[in-house]
Structure 1
Amino acid sequence: MSGDPKTISQIKLDVDRQLPNHVLFATSHGNAKASLFNILKAYSLLHPATGYCQAQAPIAAALLIHMPEEDAFWTFVCLCNRYMTDYFKSDLVRVKIELNMLFELVKKYQPDIYHHMGMELNTVFLFTLILGVKVLFRIALSIFQLLLGDSNSRKRLNSMDKLMESLRNLPKNIVGEHVLINHSFRYTFITKQELVKLYRTQLKSIDYLSQQQKKIVVLAAFNDIKKMDENYRNLNHRARQLVLATTLIRDACATRLEINFKRDLLSVQLYEHYYSKSYVILYYILTLINLLTIILEYPGNIWINGKPLPYYIPLIINLLCECYFYYRWYIIYVISEKKSLKSNISFIATIIILLLMTIDAIIYIICHELNFSNSIRWSRALRPILLLTFPENRRLRAAFFNLRRTLIDVLPVFGLFGACLIFISIVSLTLLSDMKLTYPNGNKYLYDFIDVLWEFYVLTTTANSPDIILPAYEYNHYFIMIYLFICTICNWLFMGILTASIYNSYKSHLGEFVLKTIIKRKKKLDEAFHLISIITSNKQLGIHQNIFLQLMHIVKPNYNKDSLKIIFYLLNKNKSGYLLKHEFERLTEYMQLKFEMIEFNRFYFNAYISKFYSIYTSSKFQLFIYYMNHNITKLIFIIFIIMNAICVVMYHSNPKLLELIEWIFTIIFIIELIINYLICGGVKFFNDGWNLFDFIIIFSALIGQIIQFIFYSINIYLSHEIIQIFLLLRLFRLLKLFSVIKQFRIVINCILIILPSLTAYTTILLILFYIFSCIAMELFAFVYQPPLNYNYTLNTTCNNKYLLNSEFVKWHYCTFNFNSPLDSFLLLFIITVGNNWHIFTDGYVIVTTRWSKLFFIIIHWICVLLVLNVVLAFIIEAFLIEYDSQQSKFELYINERLNDLEMNAENELKKCGLENFRKPGFIMSKKLLDEAGITEHSTKKVFYLKTDNTSIEILMFRMFEKEIEELVEDLTNKLTVPKLKSHDPFSHI
């Protein structure tokens, strides 16, 4: 059959209009256009009652992009028969009805968008607008919401032309599968019953159809909606699997392992909402505000008109913050499996703390309104504990729990130390009690057991050495044996053993934590794998490369696409194009890797050619570079830095001469900076952090000198404080010594890498300071006060008569106290790191009771003996790892895999004669590029594995690399971590 000539003519016209920018349809007589013509003509012959409709052409064209002509035809037939019955009839009844239905749904569920469209659109435009998304109303509603949801978008798209253009070219962030499908789930309440009801309502407005025809239309629509609903459920199931898999992979990569959430879609959405960046940032901001309200409370530092702030101001701030904490706790409660919540100590502790804080606030308000004089906020000390209970602070919580377990482990050692101390105290008290000795100031000397035990404990910290033994030694030289016993046995031996025990115990618990984290990540990845894997040609479950890249783009949207590809290639050792389960399980370790990409084309390497190439490549300039790079030249500039320091010390009393000398050295260092710039050819000069460091400190000093010179030249004399600032800017120039000497740079680089990893321990220390400050302010606030303007005299009592003529006052120790939060933090810091911490204890004992010593001993035990020893152990371990320049076994393996893939930059550059590319002082030349055979249009990419240990995750991995690799090998058979013995932490792995 030849078909209707008018239909054939119309098809020919429409075929030329389809996808003109697509490569398959770009040519006038391409195979794709012929195939499209055949499909449309064949369908019009197969269904003569329906014939041809222009809306068929774009659908068929889209199918031809993905499949051959015959497959595309039968797929098109199935789509029309199954989901689009009567859509293409000449009267277009169903199309009109469903367009009006969509408009009613927009009116009901998106009224703002409806009013916006109502001002600019009419029914005809709406018909043109929605053609192509008429089947899935939920998707259509989602597009409207994403495109026109906020008022700014509606203002921007305020005309038909703008809106049409925006709909033709929808932004990628809207049409992305993970966005559109996820957003469409919000309209799951639109049921097929509601759609059928809307059909009947719309049919009433159509007069030219008989009742029988209307029934036929409704029945056809109902059948299509039923089929669509079944298909949408299948789509929902697969989409939910993808959404859940994405969340699980993100959990594993971001170490979100604390919440055992339900697997339904709403719980997953709430879970992602809980961890969304804005809400997490808000949590930290409110936590910080909640903690800082202590500054506004009594005893505080902020006073208005000689009075403290009204009590309800910090109280209201606390309650607002706590409301948000309740909200986050409630989300955890709603989305979590209830069985897991019963054993979740942190979850239970959170609600208990919040309730106690609320009860305390209520009691405080009542007491304050009833004018009770001793009303206190006893729950203030609980505020920082919320940092340890919410799942956002998993690593902080783990550090705290490991410290607690370490404390339990070292109690026997500490008990033995205490027993020795008690023994020597009893012996000393027995020998010295009848001698009635006194200190040089006339105070009693070791007069009872508590005093002896306290003084000897202080002696183990060397704080009162040798003062404590002098009276006994002067009485009888044999008493020096007591001093030697305490120093050697209690101090050197037991304190050394205590430090070693703390280090070993903490490291063992840290190792257990790392291994448990690995196991939890593997479980998350295993679950994700079974959700998204398909059966490969080898009858194994695997994840295809395209699915992997799409999911990882959702999980890590800011991650470089080439880096994701290289990670897939590294994981896919068998090069099958599918990741097997044991390969996918290693994803989190590989995602921590960072690569530097090198493109093998002229455009990339031209950036490394000297900016003044002809001058740089001349023989004279090369000779200049040789001399400037010589060790003697470097030594000369080191001498200049040392001379600058000597001159500052020698001539600080002669400002005019020192000013002249400073200008000379400034000019010398500027010349050095210019020389360094010339030596590197101006290539990536500021990419080297040390060059940037030199530039900042030199030009900061120069700017300061220029400003000071200008003011002095016009007879404007600056204040002493500003002069001090300018002087400091000059003195910072002496730090250049660190950048010049290579060994200094290595050590400083190690320190800079370690510092971010110490954040958890620093936070733990601050939490302890906060808790102790709250307790101390309630116990010791205003028991003494420093004199006005710190003007100490012979009669100063610091507002406490018991301190008159005491050593405490004579040495101005009243300056430090617990009279405010800031003063409390400062005093606690001094007690923790200072050598005279016992003097503050003695001062508080004078004005309170001897039991005050117990408070300070607890601070010393926890903050000094435990926390600082753990910090010291961590620094030693981390520094040894960083100072060792050798690559880990994992890094060596990655480099081997890059070699196998022929993507190892080091080897590939060596093949081209560019092996010195990354070495200091290397400058690219056009001759080298020609010899290497690098072209302008090459697409080859190679990678350097960057050693980046600033992440705590990478540092932990390197600490326990051997144990992790052994665990991974055994993971298929065993998913539990044995308790590790302190003396041999990993012997059972």
Structure 2
Amino acid sequence: GTGADNDLYINQAIVFIEDAIQYRSINHRVDSKSLWLYRWYYSRTCQWILSLTITIILALAFIENPSSLTITSDVRYRPPAWNPPCGLTESVELLCLLLFLVDVSVKSYLIGWEEFWKNKWLMAYILTLIVSLADWVVSLSYFCTEIVRVRRILRPFFLLQNSSMMKKTLKSINSTLPEMASVVLLLAVHLSLFTMFAMLLFARTKDGQQDKEWMRYFRNLPDSLTSLLVLLTTANNPDVMIPAYSKNRAYSIFFILFTVLGNLFLMNLLTAIIYNQFRGYLLKSVQSSLFRRRLGIRAAFEVLSSLRETLAIAQQSYVSAGALRQVLLRVEMDARCKQAILRSLKKCSCDQLSATQFQKLFEELDKDSIKQHPPTPEYQSHFMQKMQFAFGHSYFGYLGNVVALANIVSICVVLVMDADKQPSERDDFFLG
């Protein structure tokens, strides 16, 4: 009937507006049962349970065998770590995997079969669950004595696929790799050439006392590569240069050239490329998010314009202000934005909203909240007004900073004076 159709349009508009608020795609099922399931899945309770499940399955690594989770990290005093019995952590893990199975099933159903084949993350999610469950069965069949557990390597994927920010970061890294490859190749050539020069320059001589540089850092090809690779990060600078520098100051030219070309030029060039690629991808990501928001708002307008009570004038669709108000009251969104949109809707004198007016109302979602200080209280008492003036003056804040600085200085002086004293000889009066 007409009433059922209107209720469906209202629910669709609610979901589309919530999709726009969260920058979600609107490519999902929109029948009444699917909309109820969709809102339940993205509710705070359901998402909180999913986040807790991810935390638990990642935290299992701290107590699973082999585990080093003890009070102290010193091997001399560390007691044996608790070894849970076989089946305890596996039961918790199975529960988490079953919840993930429900999660991927609901996601796959909501987006539909056609969108499922386009979503590589969901297919990878299902493959990860299949491998994890198969490895879990193998683990129990061996009574938890197997050496390799493949599913432990796959656990971070559950966190990755549930975080849109991590997905964006991974895509950005993937798009940056081709640009980075050329600079990485230059770094490899730079490192290889200077490694060969170093092995020729610091070759072994007849005088063993003068071969300290060769013996410590450039004895063979792997040692030479390692020494210069570490020098590229300046971690062993100037230690790697000292034996040769002690022999002849001119050897420092080699290390200076290597550091200037590698660290100050090529590494900075690599950093600039990474920054530029991330900046470009971030701009595209923001544009994509804003487009999804505009698309969700437009979809809400289209379904609301299909209501029986709306009008179509000159082949142009309109939305009833009352229908929009009914939708806004049921949408889960920030209270500040909701009140601002309702106020703007109330100021609008028209009963029917065009697409431009409808979109303009939701521009409030793009605005950041401005936090203001609460107004200064007004007192009738003359004494309270004097107190308010004195304690509210900027000089009173300066006085508080001076007192805090004096306390810090006095504590430092006492700590320095008592540094060499035995605990029984110390006077803790100043420290409380």
Q: TM-score range by the shorter chain?
A: 0.7 to 0.9
Q: 2:103 aligns with which of 321, 324, 328?
A: 328
The answer as to 2:414 corresponding to 1:651 is: yes
Which residue does 2:384 correspond to in 1? 616
Which residue does 1:389 correspond to in 2? 161
Distance of aligned partners of 1:438 and 1:316 in 2 relative to their CA distance in 1, 3 Å threshold: farther
Which residue does 2:330 correspond to in 1? 554
The answer as to 2:378 corresponding to 1:639 is: no
CA distance in 2, matches of 1:553, 1:643: 55
Which residue does 1:530 correspond to in 2? 302
Distance of aligned partners of 1:562 and 1:521 in 2 relative to their CA distance in 1, 3 Å threshold: closer
Matches within 5 A, 1:12-51: none
The answer as to 2:197 corresponding to 1:421 is: no
The answer as to 2:281 corresponding to 1:509 is: yes
The answer as to 2:38 corresponding to 1:278 is: no
Which residue does 1:431 correspond to in 2? 201
The answer to which structure, 1 or 2, has the higher relative contact order (CA under 8 A, 6+ apart) is 2
Which residue does 2:76 correspond to in 1? none
Equivalent position SS for 2:318:
strand
Distance of aligned partners of 1:567 and 1:284 in 2 relative to their CA distance in 1, 3 Å threshold: farther
CA distance in 2, matches of 1:642, 1:334: 62
Cα pair 1:341 1:347 within 8 Å, conserved: yes
CA distance in 2, matches of 1:454, 1:427: 14
CA distance in 1, matches of 2:371, 2:253: 68
CA distance in 2, matches of 1:295, 1:406: 34
Shift of 1:253: 0.7
The answer as to 2:321 corresponding to 1:545 is: yes
Equivalent position SS for 1:361:
helix
Shift of 1:446: 0.8
Which residue does 2:367 correspond to in 1? 593
Matches within 5 A, 1:397-408: 397-408=167-178
The one-letter amino acid of 1:400's match is: L
Which residue does 2:421 correspond to in 1? none
Give the alignment's Cα RMSD to 1 decimal: 3.2
* Structure 2 unmatched ranges of 5 or more: 71-78, 419-424
Distance of aligned partners of 1:588 and 1:315 in 2 relative to their CA distance in 1, 3 Å threshold: farther
Matches within 5 A, 1:823-862: none
CA distance in 2, matches of 1:312, 1:630: 64
Cα pair 1:545 1:578 within 8 Å, conserved: yes
CA distance in 2, matches of 1:628, 1:589: 38
Deviations 1:453-479 (A, max 9, x none): 211111111110001112222333322
TM-score (norm 2): 0.84
CA distance in 2, matches of 1:615, 1:539: 70
Distance of aligned partners of 1:477 and 1:396 in 2 relative to their CA distance in 1, 3 Å threshold: same
TM-score (norm 1): 0.38
Q: 1:251 aligns with which of 10, 16, 19?
A: 19
Q: Considering only CA atoms, is the larger Rg found in Structure 1 or Structure 2?
A: 1
Which residue does 1:354 correspond to in 2? 129
Which residue does 1:315 correspond to in 2? 90
Equivalent position SS for 1:326:
helix
Equivalent position SS for 2:268:
helix
Cα pair 1:364 1:376 within 8 Å, conserved: no
Deviations 1:301-345 (A, max 9, x none): 469987611232111111110001001111122222222211211
Matches within 5 A, 1:908-923: none
Shift of 1:487: 1.5
Report the more deviating stretch, 511-520 or 405-414: 405-414
Equivalent position SS for 1:462:
coil
Distance of aligned partners of 1:625 and 1:407 in 2 relative to their CA distance in 1, 3 Å threshold: same
Deviations 1:514-542 (A, max 9, x none): 11111222222222211102336676322
Tell me the number of residue pairs that the alignment of Structure 1 and Structure 2 aligns: 408
The answer as to 2:266 corresponding to 1:494 is: yes
CA distance in 2, matches of 1:332, 1:397: 17
Shift of 1:596: 7.4
Cα pair 2:69 2:81 within 8 Å, conserved: no
Equivalent position SS for 1:651:
helix
Equivalent position SS for 2:319:
strand
The one-letter amino acid of 2:410's match is: C
Distance of aligned partners of 1:302 and 1:468 in 2 relative to their CA distance in 1, 3 Å threshold: closer
Shift of 1:592: 4.3
CA distance in 2, matches of 1:295, 1:348: 29
Cα pair 2:217 2:227 within 8 Å, conserved: no
Distance of aligned partners of 1:246 and 1:580 in 2 relative to their CA distance in 1, 3 Å threshold: same
Q: 1:296 aligns with which of 42, 55, 63?
A: 63
Deviations 1:417-472 (A, max 9, x none): 222122211221222233476548x9543112222121111111111000111222
Equivalent position SS for 1:336:
helix
Deviations 1:139-182 (A, max 9, x none): xxxxxxxxxxxxxxxxxxxxxxxxxxxxxxxxxxxxxxxxxxxx
Distance of aligned partners of 1:629 and 1:356 in 2 relative to their CA distance in 1, 3 Å threshold: same
Which residue does 1:580 correspond to in 2? 354
